Structure 1
Amino acid sequence: MIYRWLLCLALAVAFFSPATRAASLHEGWQEVDGLHLFYREGGNPKAPTIVFLHGNPLSSIMYARVMEELAASQPVHVIAMDYPSFGYSDAPDHTSYRYTFDHLAETVSHFLKLRGIERYALYMQDYGAPVGFRLISANPRAITAIMVQNGVIHLDGFPTAQDPDGELRRHWLQRNPAVDARRTAYIHALSFPQAEHWSDEDHAGADATVQMIAAFQRPGVIEARNDLWFDYGSNVARYPAWQARLRSLHVPVLVLWGKQDMFFTTPGAEAYRRDAPQAEVHILDSTHFATLDAPDQVAALLGDFFRRHHDELRR
């Protein structure tokens, strides 16, 4: 009887402890400019906020494990949203929503305002970097820290875009229907994860892959994403301005990079030191999706970073 009472007490303490409550993310949809955008959120809203901006082609699901671990171990508030047409967010037709990075950043900015978030640290991966650096440029005083993982603002880490006469740069200057057609065919060919005839080269995992395929194969989404990829050239044109902005900021900077990423390569990580000498750079034996492939390692590095810069994050 006493043993059972103690066991119930232990379970109750574990269930209702602050760490356990913080570790539980809640999910929902925020209406933004007529769209319902899915988000994940955890921790104490009065604590320093970390906004996670996801990359392509995944969504906020790529951060769930890391966000849970941070909320359980650090006095922080964590939040991540899915962009329009990504994850569980609405997917308006590309004729009714402009799929450009300027517009995505505007949507994210409106989302943060509606959630009452005015000052925050940014964690950016892949597409999250050009979205995030637009936010930084628009309101640098809102930023308490910058964290980048496999997201470029230097051509050093973007080998397929280095040749001005290469296919990508030409496509961004004058849209090539053949590029759109290849991307469309690739999406239509994606198959359900299974034991045979399925490859997970980036170690995103089956759950994130299923969600990505389901979101991507909704009506009109591939056209929207092709519009967004065509607009990527606007990011490359802004790299010098973003580098200058980074040089003007004096906030903590952390760069994490999965060295197995063949699209955004490790020179892109080291390039951040040119503009932010204070940057802490960690090259991980991981992939483009390090938060899914090595979540414990990423969470540990972020936890150490936040502990050392806690006072700066609270300013």
Structure 2
Amino acid sequence: MQAQAETLTYGWQKVDGIHLFYREGGPRDAPTLVFLHGNPLSSIMYEKLMEDLAATGKLHVLAVDYPSFGYSDAPDHATYRYTFDHVADTVRKFLAARGITRYGLYMQDYGVPVGFRLVQANPDAISMIVVQNGVIHLDGFPSAQDPQGELRRHWQTRNPAVDRRRAGYVARLAYPRADGWSPDDGVTPDAALLMVAAAQRPGVIDGRNDLWFDYGNNVLRYPAWQAMLRKMRVPLLVLWGRRDPFFTTSGALAYQRDVPTAEVHLLDADHFASLEVPDEIATLINGFLSRHSVATPPPSGSP
């Protein structure tokens, strides 16, 4: 039977003085699946998918917007360090504040390096891993494969021209409208509007540029994350929009080198597949859960 979508609840959780926006649904006593969004979107990219999964009554779903993304506060980069280490630590504290101690991870794009830091910090907390268009292998990251290419050189020695180009792009982002509208990576008008409003807040591009400069530290950690996956014994599901030009399907297949039992599905979608084919992804996740045991969290108050 096809479940009807369930309305999510919304709120802000204060972490270190920063109000982090979150979306949540499903029974709290069911296994938790935490959604970590990509750049430049926010948890809005998971809205329909989370509704579908919450409606089954078998999952507790939770998504958070990182600082400066979506509806979360945007602290100045002079007071908040926009690095992946710091963002991951903020998400870790968010989960602790929400009482989440054991959970699965659904990670896309920037969510992958954030999530793998959480896994590395406490692998025993992880019940399952779902990856959607996010890499820990250079196989699927063509623009970063050349050590002398612009990206790799920028990550080694920050290039102000790259920062200016990214700032100019954000400044030119426009309100979605009929004249000239075309979906970018499958992004919906609602998601695009929130993306523009969040990115154009004063000072946000400075923090975003700091985070992009720090991305090179993720590439350096790829071998360690691959080795960690090979040692872990958690179910791994890889979902990939095969029309993604930035993170290509080679990145999806590379996960099977580390986890031969990983399930890999190539979808007729682009970079933000959860916006394009949420019902298909929900079906794949439900099927995956039917084949794998995911431990439920202990009852409230238990040791």
Output the TM-score relative to the length of structure 2.
Answer: 0.95
SS in 1 for 2:226: helix
Q: Equivalents in 1 of 2:294, 2:190: separation in Å?
A: 36
Correspondence 1:194 to 2:159: no
Q: Equivalents in 2 of 1:292, 1:313: separation in Å?
A: 28
SS in 1 for 2:79: coil
Match of 2:294 in 1: 312
* Bigger Rg over Cα: 1
Q: Equivalents in 1 of 2:25, 2:79: separation in Å?
A: 32
**Code of the aligned partner of 2:59:** V
Contact 2:37 2:65 in 1 (8 A): yes
Match of 1:168 in 2: 151
Q: Equivalents in 2 of 1:60, 1:201: separation in Å?
A: 17
- Say which of 146, 149, 152 aligns to 2:129: 146
Q: Equivalents in 2 of 1:307, 1:212: separation in Å?
A: 35
SS in 1 for 2:24: strand
Correspondence 1:119 to 2:102: yes
**Code of the aligned partner of 2:157:** Q
Match of 1:82 in 2: 65
Correspondence 1:105 to 2:118: no
**Code of the aligned partner of 1:161:** A
Runs of at least 5 residues in structure 2 that lack an aligned partner in the other structure: 298-303
SS in 2 for 1:314: coil
Correspondence 1:181 to 2:181: no
Aligned length, in residue pairs: 295
Q: Equivalents in 1 of 2:262, 2:212: separation in Å?
A: 29
**Code of the aligned partner of 2:45:** M
Q: How far 1:303 sits from its partner (Å)?
A: 1.3
Contact 2:67 2:73 in 1 (8 A): yes
Q: How far 1:58 sits from its partner (Å)?
A: 0.3
Q: Equivalents in 1 of 2:7, 2:192: separation in Å?
A: 23
Q: Equivalents in 2 of 1:259, 1:106: separation in Å?
A: 31
**Code of the aligned partner of 2:296:** R
Q: Deviations over 1:172-211 (max 9, x none)?
A: 0000000001101111111111111222131111000000
**Code of the aligned partner of 1:62:** M
Q: How far 1:312 sits from its partner (Å)?
A: 2.9
Match of 1:217 in 2: 200
Larger proportion of helix: 1
Contact 1:71 1:78 in 2 (8 A): yes
Contact 2:31 2:294 in 1 (8 A): no
Correspondence 1:229 to 2:232: no
**Code of the aligned partner of 2:201:** R
Output the TM-score relative to the length of structure 1.
Answer: 0.92
Match of 2:301 in 1: none
Q: Percent identity?
A: 66
**Code of the aligned partner of 2:9:** H
- Say which of 285, 290, 294 aligns to 2:277: 294
Q: Deviations over 1:125-145 (max 9, x none)?
A: 000000000000000000000
Correspondence 1:95 to 2:110: no
Q: Equivalents in 2 of 1:199, 1:234: separation in Å?
A: 33
Q: How far 1:36 sits from its partner (Å)?
A: 0.3
- Say which of 257, 282, 288 aligns to 1:274: 257
Q: Deviations over 1:62-97 (max 9, x none)?
A: 001000000102411000000000000000000000
Runs of at least 5 residues in structure 1 that lack an aligned partner in the other structure: 1-18
Question: What is the aligned-residue RMSD (CA, Å)?
Answer: 1.1
